[in-house]
Amino acid sequence: MQKITPFLWFDGKAEEAANFYTSIFKNSKVGRITRYGEAGPGPKGTAMSATFQLEGQEFMALNGGPQFKFTEAISFFVNCETQEGVDELWEKLSAGGEKGRCGWLKDKFGLSWQIIPSALGQMLGDKDPEKSKRVMQAMLQMNKIDIRVLKQAYEQR
């Protein structure tokens, strides 16, 4: 087990979430599902917790109840090499959720994700402040990040 593992609190949907996330990301798998027994506190046989891996990153999910909700204060940043990668993850993760601005979305469980092409960071880090400014201004107008539009802003003369 890795030293630091994200631990996610769900309201009865930990197993569903583990299956959902592992269906989206390559190199992913559901690990152990721990189920409630006779002693509860959940209904016997329902998932108490689940472990899963996404691209080699370990996660734990707990069915902790309705007391706590996800907020945008915590999000998962996903680096994508291609527009196709951005498009695929954007559509799959936002299904049943909420599409936000600047590459942010909430999935159907309320968990926030940032679906970001690596090209964005490269362009924003350019030594020419005018180029990076144009890229930032273009990005601020987007929901899903569009690499082609970013490149047009970057290369503008």
CB count within 10 Å of CB 69 equals: 10
- Indicate the fold that domain 1-68 takes in CATH: 3.30.720
State residue 6's pLDDT score.
Answer: 97
Beta bridge partners of 33: 50
| Residue-wise pLDDT tens digits, 74-117 | 999 999 999 999 999 999 999 999 999 999 999 999 999 999 99
Residue 50: name the closest of 10, 15, 94 by CA: 15
What global pTM score does this model have?
0.93
CATH number of 70-157: 3.10.180.10
DSSP characters over 123-138: HHT-S-HHHHHHHHHH
Q: Where are the domains of the chain?
A: 1-68, 70-157
* Cβ atoms 113, 107 nearer than 8 A: yes
- Predicted confidence (pLDDT) at residue 8 exceeds the cutoff of 80: yes
| Mean per-residue pLDDT, 45-59 | 97
Residues above pLDDT 90, as percent of the chain: 94
DSSP characters over the chain: --SS--EEEESS-HHHHHHHHHHHSSSEEEEEEEE--TT-SSPTTSEEEEEEEETTEEEEEEE--TT----TTSEEEEEESSHHHHHHHHHHHHTTSEE-STTEEE-TTS-EEEEEEHHHHHHHT-S-HHHHHHHHHHHTT-SS--HHHHHHHHH--
| Mean per-residue pLDDT, 41-62 | 95
